[in-house]
Structure 1
Amino acid sequence: MTLLYTYDPVLFSRWLTSLTLGFHIIFATIGVGVPLYIGLAEWIGIRKNDFHYILLARRWSRGYVITVAVGVVTGTAIGLQLSLLWPSFMQVAGQSIALPLFMETFAFFFEAIFLGIYLYTWDRFKNRKTHLLLLIPVVIGSGASAIFITIVNSFMNYPVGFTYENNMITDVNPIQAMMSPAVPTKISHVLTTAYLTCGLVLAAIAAFAYARGQRETYHRKALKFTMICSFVFMIATVIIGDLSGKYLAVYQPEKLAATEWHFETSTHAPLILGGVLQEDNTVKYGLEIPYGLSILAFSNPSAEVVGLDQFPEEHWAPLWVHYIFDMKMGLVAMMVLITLLFMIELIRKKGNIYRGWLLALVVAAAPIAMLTIEHGWIFSEVGRQPWVVRGIMTTTEGATRSEHVDTMLLMFFLLYTVLAISSIRVLTRMFKRNKVADELALYEK
């Protein structure tokens, strides 16, 4: 039976870009977060003369190289697809926000150069601190790479730094274009969630190994160290998440209104959790928290929150973004609970952080964290619709009209499948062949 469909280049361009971003964000998050943990572990190891932490840094850096390699491929694919699938957007971006795009590439090369030096100079220096210093540019470069690309995304959400008249961009100020009001909260959120996610992923590896019977001190220290860091970044993430909601209320009220199904501008606005939206825009089965949206938006229960009635319906984001946001917040609640339970058990005099149920929760926290990252980016991009550059260019206007985007979608899907399987197999074999117990035994000799 032949499968028939209507070819829509805009739809296939969106699917392909979503597929690439969804796959790339996994490796990009690891690329931003893991260098910080490598550096902290090596610093603790040097400071305490503790080989367990040195070995943590060494083993994490081996796995990190694999994720960087895959991230390079997917990052290159994003650059290729931006030019091929979104030519009109790239024309606007080239006029206004090209500077951080260039600086992101420079930051990556800066990171890659020092990462190579760092990896090939283990045990080459009498003073271990010299080797640690080589990692600082890697941490800075990976963070800067995330910052610059987030600046571009911030511009897409709230463009500034130019004059827009008669469908033309003039008087461009490249520096001012990088100063979108969305920048502070978006950059802070991207960095803290990357550090949180990587902490939970590394903690899950240690918890899984311990639960499987590998009871070395190495795994106990890894679990405790990564979960304490995760708890700190969880607190930061919650605070910045609240500030992000307040940013939306002021600068992107239509996105907040669509997310919370707030159809009429009003004071004392309630917050709706869950629910099912009806055809007449009423909500069934939802939990309504009185004054909740006003408090979330302005920290004032009587504050007025702009509703969707202030915007043309064709400029509304898809209202199913509410479900994405609720799922995201549900996942965040799970991570808060897991990290909080771990810290309670750690602080209690009789607490046991190595209990089976707690180890299982820590292992579960890793996929939960990754799903939260995916949901967060879906919410960010879908919530901006129908704009690719808010108020300037719609997604339809920015997309290509070329043929064969569907073929590209299939090819890249196969590529990402191969990359995923290959990276998992390489990482698994790498750590199976280099067991912790064997490396500890070599050190003791």
Structure 2
Amino acid sequence: MLFDDPVFGSRVLTLLTLSFHIIYATIGVGVPLMIMIAHWVGIKKKDEHYLLMAKRWARGFAVTVAVGVVTGTAIGLQLSLLWPNFMELAGNIIALPLFLEVFAFFFEAIFLGIYAYTGDRFEDKRKHFLLLIPVVLGAAASGLFITVLNAFMNSPQGFDIVNGQLTNVNPIAAMFTPAMPTKVSHVLATSFMTAAFMLASIAAYKILKGSNHIYHKKSLYMTMKIGLVFSIAAALIGDFSGKYLAEYQPEKLAAAEWHFETEEGAPLLMYGILDDEGEVKYELKIPYGLSILANGNPNSVVIGLDQFPEEETPPLIIHYFFDLMVTIGGFMVVLSLVYWIGMKRAWSFVKSNWYRWLIVLGGPLSFLAIEAGWWMAEVGRQPWILRGIMTIEEAATSSDYVGLMVILFATLYLFLGIGTIVVLRRMFKNNPVELELEQQEAAQGGETT
């Protein structure tokens, strides 16, 4: 059978779970800030449309949080079931951020519930706004702590292994690894970026489907501006990430760039294919680009795959993941920048249907870029699960039931994905913006009377 090899089955199930969970994790980290910004703009401008945005986004966000709990729990379960040897070692070193991530999530969820169900009880919207501060901090902290674990896997420290025994464990040092700053900042920036473009995509779609309500136009304009800011931030942090890889994980950078031989003034390769002889064809070559990305110096030396044993070379497929991530990121920067300038200068084409369809496409594309980034990060660390210390084969379970687990969890994710779409669609279809605004106006009129 396909999953007779427990190592292969464990890798497939982990890939499936992470790929599904990252959708909800990205929403979980990014959307609270969007809610907070909308609420703040509503208070500042005394505009009920922005306050309603915050209210509706919070309502939909609560659904994704519930599903995220299930997928997050699945990851925790699978770490122990599929990678027991890894958890036996790493659990003694890096358990602290795992505990803190759970605490941060509950901190976020508690205040989100209070915010979502007490809006009508606050006459002063500024006091209601204060409830969002712990929601945003909890969401960001949750993303931070779980990313700390991933950073530890890429640059493990804070312990020694002497004669096969774990000694000198320092949980704080294990959290603050060289990989942590760039990984955490990149995860947060891309989460905020993706959440903004997701909401912009929804607003553009509603306009294309015939809604001419100012609510959707305000939502589109605000979220595209936010998306522009964080897409630029993600690009800048991506540059720092390249420099981190050059110093600490040069084999991953070399594999991502199909950089086979160490050289100075190395070009950056985008796209292309590898032929049977290992030669690159049809690539886009940017002179000195890789040396600039790696060291900020066009004449610097960049280490190639020729400096690493073949068994420690990451899969070369990560080149395509890198290309996909960078291409989509660049597209979203240009798309949002042109939209912002076009709205300022009254360029008519940014209000055209074809441009709005590009914005609609930008939402799913942003999630695809997130997926590609994580695939590059995880596949690019192989053959290691804990770089330089433990390989995938050494960490995996030897259970014969991994294949059955793949089927069961795949079925669960299918139902969760479909269920999320159905619930959100019914929630907002049965309670459109126009109806909520009418109800608000009627309620305010009744209070005045």
Q: TM-score, normalised by structure 1?
A: 0.97
Rounded Cα–Cα distance in structure 2 between residues aligned with 1:36 and 1:222: 14
Instruction: After TM superposition, give the deviation of residue 349 of structure 1 in Å.
Output: 3.7
Per mean C-alpha deviation after superposition, the further-off stretch among 311-320 and 261-270 is 261-270
Alignment pair present for 1:393 and 2:390: yes
Tell me the equivalent position of 1:130: 127
Alignment pair present for 1:89 and 2:86: yes
Give the secondary structure class of the aligned counterpart of 1:246.
Answer: helix
Rounded Cα–Cα distance in structure 2 between residues aligned with 1:130 and 1:254: 51
Rounded Cα–Cα distance in structure 2 between residues aligned with 1:313 and 1:105: 39
The sequence identity of aligned pairs, in percent, is: 57
Q: How does 1:112-123 map to 2 (within 5 A)?
A: 112-123=109-120
Give the secondary structure class of the aligned counterpart of 2:375.
Answer: helix
State the AA in 2 paired with 1:343: W
1:84/1:298 CA distance change after superposition, 3 Å = same
Give the secondary structure class of the aligned counterpart of 2:351.
Answer: coil
State the AA in 2 paired with 1:150: T
Tell me the equivalent position of 1:105: 102
**Deviation string for 1:47-103 (max 9, x for gaps)?**
211100010001101100110000000000101111111101111111211110111
Instruction: After TM superposition, give the deviation of residue 344 of structure 1 in Å.
Output: 2.3
**Deviation string for 1:115-168 (max 9, x for gaps)?**
111112111123211111111111100110000000000000011111233443
Q: How does 1:176-215 map to 2 (within 5 A)?
A: 176-215=173-212
Corresponding residue to 2:231 among 229, 234, 255: 234
Per mean C-alpha deviation after superposition, the further-off stretch among 350-359 and 147-156 is 350-359
Corresponding residue to 2:74 among 65, 68, 77: 77
Corresponding residue to 2:267 among 265, 270, 273: 270
Structure 1 unaligned spans of 5+: none
Tell me the equivalent position of 2:245: 248
Alignment pair present for 1:378 and 2:379: no
Rounded Cα–Cα distance in structure 1 between residues aligned with 2:163 and 2:286: 44
Tell me the equivalent position of 1:216: 213
Tell me the equivalent position of 2:7: 10
Pairs aligned (count): 442
Instruction: After TM superposition, give the deviation of residue 6 of structure 1 in Å.
Output: 6.4
Alignment pair present for 1:433 and 2:430: yes
Rounded Cα–Cα distance in structure 2 between residues aligned with 1:235 and 1:105: 30
Give the secondary structure class of the aligned counterpart of 1:123.
Answer: helix
Give the secondary structure class of the aligned counterpart of 2:330.
Answer: helix
Q: How does 1:28-47 map to 2 (within 5 A)?
A: 28-47=25-44
Instruction: After TM superposition, give the deviation of residue 353 of structure 1 in Å.
Output: 3.8
State the AA in 2 paired with 1:42: H
1:5/1:370 CA distance change after superposition, 3 Å = closer
Instruction: After TM superposition, give the deviation of residue 279 of structure 1 in Å.
Output: 3.9
- Paired residues of 1:344 and 1:351 also in contact (CA < 8 A): no
Alignment pair present for 1:20 and 2:14: no
State the AA in 1 paired with 2:310: E
1:356/1:317 CA distance change after superposition, 3 Å = same
Alignment pair present for 1:404 and 2:387: no
Tell me the equivalent position of 1:257: 254
Structure 2 unaligned spans of 5+: 443-449
Corresponding residue to 2:306 among 309, 315, 339: 309
Rounded Cα–Cα distance in structure 2 between residues aligned with 1:239 and 1:154: 19
Give me the CA root mean square deviation.
1.2
Instruction: After TM superposition, give the deviation of residue 331 of structure 1 in Å.
Output: 1.7
**Deviation string for 1:311-360 (max 9, x for gaps)?**
11100001111122112222222212211221221121444642212211
State the AA in 2 paired with 1:66: V
Give the secondary structure class of the aligned counterpart of 1:241.
Answer: helix
Rounded Cα–Cα distance in structure 2 between residues aligned with 1:404 and 1:80: 15
State the AA in 1 paired with 2:368: L
Instruction: After TM superposition, give the deviation of residue 210 of structure 1 in Å.
Output: 0.8
1:274/1:403 CA distance change after superposition, 3 Å = same
Tell me the equivalent position of 1:369: 366
Rounded Cα–Cα distance in structure 2 between residues aligned with 1:5 and 1:100: 35
